[in-house]
Structure 1
Amino acid sequence: MKGKEKIKVGITIGDLNGIGGEIILKTFEDNRMLDFCTPVIFASVKTISYLKKHFKFNLNFNGINTIDKIVHGKINVFNAWNEKYNIEFGKENLKSGELSIKSLKEAVKYLKSGDIDALVTAPINKHNIQSEEFKFPGHTDYLAQELEGNSLMFMVTDTLKVGLLTDHVPVNDVTKHISEKLIKNKLDIINLSLKQDFKVRKPKIAVLGINPHTGDNGVIGKEDDEILRPALSKIREKGMLVFGPYAADSFFGSNNYKNFDAIIASYHDQGLIPFKTLSFGNGVNFTAGLSKVRTSPDHGTAYEIAGKGEADENSFKQAVFTAIKIFKNRKEYKNLTKNPLKPKQKKI
C-alpha cells in the first residue's frame, strides 16, 4: 500500500519565521498520514533540514528539483529556492515574505497543471508579502485570479460551516460592498459547494443580517430592508433554500445554527468570531468557488510561539484531511452529473 499512488497534496511553507514549518512537520511526523496522501512541501531541502533538526522531528523526506520526481509513500520537498535563509522565529522581515510567495507561486503552478491534486497553505504574514510582483491582501484574492473563479471564504468543520459575503474589508466599507449581485453570487457559490464538496443534496442556508437586530425596521440602518431582504426573496423564488436575515447576536448562542447546512455572515468578524469560538482549533479555511481545492488552518503565523515547539498542528492536519475529502467528493459529483442515474423503465 505504501507505494500506491495517492492524492498529491501540495503544501506551501508559509512565513518561515512563523509556525508554518512546525505544524507541517508535526502533521507528517505521524507516518500514518502517508496512507491518506502524498505530501509535496514547496520550500527547500535546506529549510526543512533546519526545521527537522531544530524541533528534533523524527522523519525522513525526499528532496526533488522537478515535479516528476515525486515519490508516493514519502514526504516530498520541492526546492522552490536554493538560497540559504536563516530563520529568525517570531520576527517579521521582507525576505521571509518573499520566500513564502515563492512557495505559493510554485505550488499554484503545479496545481494548475494537475501535477498536484489539492493545495494546503500554511499561514503567511499579509504585510511582508507585499511587493511590486505581489499586490494581494492574502491567499484568497491571488488564488481567485489564478484558479478561474469567484472565491468565497468558507470556514468549515464537520458540524459548522460559515461563509462570508465580504471578507478582508474594513468595517466602515462593508455596506458599500454589499449588493444584490454580490449576495446572489456568494449564495450560488455556497449552494454549489455544499452539493459538490460536502455531499449535501438540498442545502439549507441561513443568512445573518447586516445591522444589529437586522436593522430593527430601519431604526438601526436600512440595508437589511432595502438590499438583503429583497435579494433573498428573489433567490428563494428560484428554489434555493435560503433563510433569514437573522439577528447575528443571538443566532449562535441559541443553537439556531444547528438547523442549517451553512451560514453566511455579512462581514469577517460577524462570522469568524463565533466560528473560531465554537470550533476550538479544529476549523479549516476552505476557498470555495475555485476550479481547484485549497484549504488552510484557521489561524495565523503565531509569531509569539514560533520556534518553541508549542504550536498545535490539529487545524493544519484537519486542513489536509478536508482537502483530500473535497477532492474526492468533487470527483464523485462530476461523475454523477456526467452520468446521472436514470430511473428504471417499467416493463409493459
Structure 2
Amino acid sequence: MRNQSIIKVGISIGDMNGVGPEIILKTLEDKRILELFTPVIFANSKLMSFFAKHYKTKLKFNGVLKASDAVEGKINVVNVWREGVDINFGQEDKTVGSYAIKSLKAATQALIHNEVQTLVTAPIHKNSIQSDEFKFPGHTDFLAQELRGDSLMFMVSNQIRLGLLTDHVPVKDVVNHITTKSLKQKVNAIHNSLKVDFNIREPKIAVLGVNPHNGDNGVIGTEDDEIIKPALKSFVDEGKFVFGPYAADSFFGSQNYKKFDAVLAAYHDQGLIPFKTLSFGKGVNFTAGLNRIRTSPDHGTAFDIAGKGEADHSSFQEAIFTAIQLFKNRMEYIRLNKNALETQKPQEYRNNK
C-alpha cells in the first residue's frame, strides 16, 4: 500500500555556477531521506549526472517529462530543457541565470497544479537572472505574483522566527516603504502563519523600531511615533498579542527575542544580521502568506567556493525538512478547522446537504 505521508518536494536548481547543485546532491546522498519525501528536481537529467560525477557521488536519476510522473524512492528530474549548458563554476553568467529561471518557472507551475506539494529553491544570483522576461529581485517577489496571498519573507530556525517589513530595498528608500498598510499586512501575515503553519494558538509578536532608540521622541526620526505605535495599538484593540516598538540595538543581545513567537524587523540588515548570527547554517527562508509552501536555504550562490565540494548543505537540508513539516501542519490546520465548521452547522443544514 502506498505510504500516504510521502509527499513530492519540488526542487529548483538555482544558479548552476554556484553551490546549488552541490547542496542538492549532498542532501540526497543519504538514501534514508527518500523514505521521507519524493524529490523532483527541475533541470536536466544529463546535467545532473554531470554534477554527480563532478562531486564524486553515485546518485542515479530518474528522468521524467512532468512532475506527476515522479516515482517514489527515486531522485526524479523533470527535463525542463534538452540542450547542453556550459557550466563555469564561480562565474556570473546571464545564460546560466536564464536556466535558473526556467527551472523556477517550471517548478512553480508544478506547484500551482499540485504536481508537487512544496517547493524548495536553490540559490539564484540576483544579477544573472535579470532579463526582459524576468525583472524580479528574487524568488519572493516572483512567487508573490504567481501564487495567491500576501507574501512575507519569514526567516525561521529553532532559535528564532523573523519577518521583514521591507526586504530587498535600498537602505535610503526603506522609510518610503514603511506605511500603516504595509505594517498591518506583514503583522497579519506573521500572525496567520504562526497559527496555520506553526500550530501556535495565540502568537506573540515583537515589532522592532525603525530608527535608533525608536526615534527618541522624534529627535532621530518620527516614523516610530507616527506609524508604528498607532498601528500596534490597533492590534491590541483587536485582541492580538503584538508588542513594541523595541529598540533593535539591544533587543537581541538582551535575549528579549526568546519571549516571542516571532519578530518583525523594519528592514533587511536589521533583521538578517542577528538572524544569521544566531542561526547560520540551520536557518530557512520561508515565503509565508501564500497558498503554497516554499522554502530555501539562508545563503546565496557562494561563487567563491562553487565547484570545490566545500559547500555546507545543512541549511538546504533544513529547508526541505521545514517545507515538509510546514505542509503537514497546514494540512492539519485545514482539516481541523473544516471539521470544526462542520460540527457547528445547524443539524437541519447537515441533514439536507
Q: CA deviation at 1:63?
A: 1.0
Residue of structure 1 in register with 2:347 after alignment: none
User: 1:34-45 alignment to 2 at 5 Å?
Assistant: 34-45=34-45
Residue of structure 2 in register with 1:215 after alignment: 215
CA distance in 1, matches of 2:330, 2:219: 45
CA distance in 2, matches of 1:66, 1:13: 16
Q: CA deviation at 1:39?
A: 0.4
CA distance in 2, matches of 1:57, 1:213: 52
CA distance in 2, matches of 1:179, 1:171: 16
Residue of structure 1 in register with 2:112 after alignment: 112
The aligned amino acid for 2:73 is: G
Per-residue CA shift, 1:72-105, capped at 9, x if unaligned?
Answer: 1111011011110121000011111000000000
Question: Is the 2:49–2:60 Cα contact (8 Å) retained in structure 1?
Answer: no
Residue of structure 2 in register with 1:185 after alignment: 185
Question: Is the 2:159–2:278 Cα contact (8 Å) retained in structure 1?
Answer: no
Residue of structure 2 in register with 1:300 after alignment: 300
The aligned amino acid for 1:324 is: I
Structure 1: 5+ residue stretches without partners: 344-348
User: 1:274-293 alignment to 2 at 5 Å?
Assistant: 274-293=274-293
Per-residue CA shift, 1:6-56, capped at 9, x if unaligned?
Answer: 110000000010000000000001111111100000000111010000000
CA distance in 2, matches of 1:196, 1:210: 28
User: 1:188-337 alignment to 2 at 5 Å?
Assistant: 188-337=188-337
Residue of structure 2 in register with 1:90 after alignment: 90
Q: CA deviation at 1:67?
A: 2.7
CA distance in 2, matches of 1:96, 1:148: 29
CA distance in 1, matches of 2:232, 2:183: 8
Q: Does 1:176 align with 2:176?
A: yes
Q: Output the aligned Cα RMSD.
A: 1.2
CA distance in 1, matches of 2:223, 2:3: 55
TM-score by structure 1 length?
0.96
Residue of structure 2 in register with 1:161 after alignment: 161
Aligned residues: 342
Q: CA deviation at 1:150?
A: 1.1
Question: Is the 2:49–2:61 Cα contact (8 Å) retained in structure 1?
Answer: no
Q: CA deviation at 1:159?
A: 2.7
Flag as ranges the 4+ runs of structure 1 deviating above 3 A: none
> What secondary structure does 1:8 align onto?
strand
The aligned amino acid for 2:335 is: N
CA distance in 1, matches of 2:170, 2:311: 29
Question: Is the 1:90–1:306 Cα contact (8 Å) retained in structure 2?
Answer: yes
Q: Does 1:11 align with 2:15?
A: no
CA distance in 2, matches of 1:138, 1:309: 25
CA distance in 2, matches of 1:14, 1:157: 22
TM-score by structure 2 length?
0.95
Q: CA deviation at 1:158?
A: 2.2
CA distance in 1, matches of 2:95, 2:101: 10
User: 1:76-155 alignment to 2 at 5 Å?
Assistant: 76-155=76-155
> What secondary structure does 1:185 align onto?
helix
CA distance in 1, matches of 2:60, 2:81: 20
CA distance in 1, matches of 2:91, 2:261: 40
